[in-house]
Amino acid sequence: MQRPRPTRSESHAVPVLLVLGGVLSVQLGAAVAKGLFPALGPAGTVLVRIATAAVVLLLIARRPLHRLPAGSKRLVVAFGLVLAGMNLAFYLALDRIPLGVAVTVEFIGPLAVAVAGSRRPRDLVWALLAAVGVLLLTGGGSALLSGELDPVGVLCAALAGSCWAAYILLNQRVGAAVPGVHGLAVAMTVGTVALLPLGVASAGGRLLEPHLLAAGAAVGLLSSAIPYTLELAALRSLPASTFGVLMSLEPAVAALAGFVVLGERLRAGQVVAVVCVCAASAGATWTAAAARRRTRSAGPTP
């Protein structure tokens, strides 16, 4: 007897859970990383994280570091430096402000990339919604002036968001120029080398302590290796638009992880701000996907 074919919702259930698992893994990794700051500092923690991710990806890629396609080396080096800057700026922000706030401010970067290339008036709604979220998050600037939110922390989160925007654009180019995960593996290695002086200056001999190395390696697995693997598996059967909408939940999951793991509480206005940014990102992703579908269905103009 032939088994009934799974419905569309059933066939998407597993990849949706994989994406959500990846999002949860990233934010748990960030929460664990913050616990290492007293021992390793932000720079030392991010060094161990990036180095762990580099080792894992190099093992997956199974190709020598120098075996890059002609003309792609500068692109991969730039990608690695942006990746290092993004993670370092985020950890510096995390050292000063709550996890949920840091991720929400950082998320403005990829949202700006999604909205910037659009000429549709409706996308201005998502930009305005994100702006409302930022205003609520900072209390219209009063939280920064009063010291309730560390201005340097917010600035570092914004810098991480800018690097994230550059990361998205460079990731697309590296993915097109270098097959498989080899480009990302080499970029992670470049990022490790770039972070080495800062990480050693921050953590010193504590980088050699086995329990700290193990905890840092766990951060690398939670924040990079595990979510990358889950997302790669999910994207084999999940539409990119659905993937983007699910990824828009990151600020909310970050706030939850910050509360559960670190005991960080957000004010009611900040919770609304997180929801606004999540909704803006999901809306921008959804309308962009709908526009691409309409373009494809219309076909070439005569």
**Would 91 be classed as within a structural domain?**
yes
Mean pLDDT, rounded, for 246-255:
87
Question: Taking the model in full, what pTM does it have?
Answer: 0.83
Mean pLDDT, rounded, for 22-47:
92
pLDDT surpassing 50 at residue 89: yes
**Would 4 be classed as within a structural domain?**
no
Mean pLDDT, rounded, for 197-218:
91
**Would 278 be classed as within a structural domain?**
yes
**Would 194 be classed as within a structural domain?**
yes
Mean pLDDT, rounded, for 170-193:
83
pLDDT surpassing 60 at residue 300: no
pLDDT for position 141: 65
CA atoms of 161 and 167, how far apart (whole Å): 9
pLDDT for position 127: 79
CA atoms of 30 and 40, how far apart (whole Å): 14
CA distances from 39 to 28, 33, 169, 206 (A): 18, 11, 34, 7
**Would 12 be classed as within a structural domain?**
no
Q: Reduced to 3 DSSP states, what percent helix, strand and coil does the chain have, rounded to the nearest 5?
A: 80, 0, 20
- Least confident interval from 43-47, 60-64, 140-144, 262-266: 140-144
Domain that holds residue 167: 19-295
Mean pLDDT, rounded, for 172-197:
85
Most confident of 13-22, 157-166, 235-244, 291-300: 157-166
**Would 148 be classed as within a structural domain?**
yes
The confidence band for 10, taking pLDDT boundaries of 50, 70 and 90, is very low
**Would 3 be classed as within a structural domain?**
no
- Least confident interval from 2-11, 18-27, 147-156, 174-183: 2-11
pLDDT for position 14: 82
Domain count, the chain: 1
Mean pLDDT, rounded, for 86-97:
94
Report residue 191 as tokens.
């990022």
CA atoms of 192 and 220, how far apart (whole Å): 12
Higher pLDDT pick, 163 / 112: 163
H helix intervals, the chain: 8-61, 73-94, 99-106, 108-116, 123-138, 142-145, 151-177, 182-203, 210-220, 226-234, 240-247, 250-262, 268-298
H/E element holding 300?
none
**Would 47 be classed as within a structural domain?**
yes
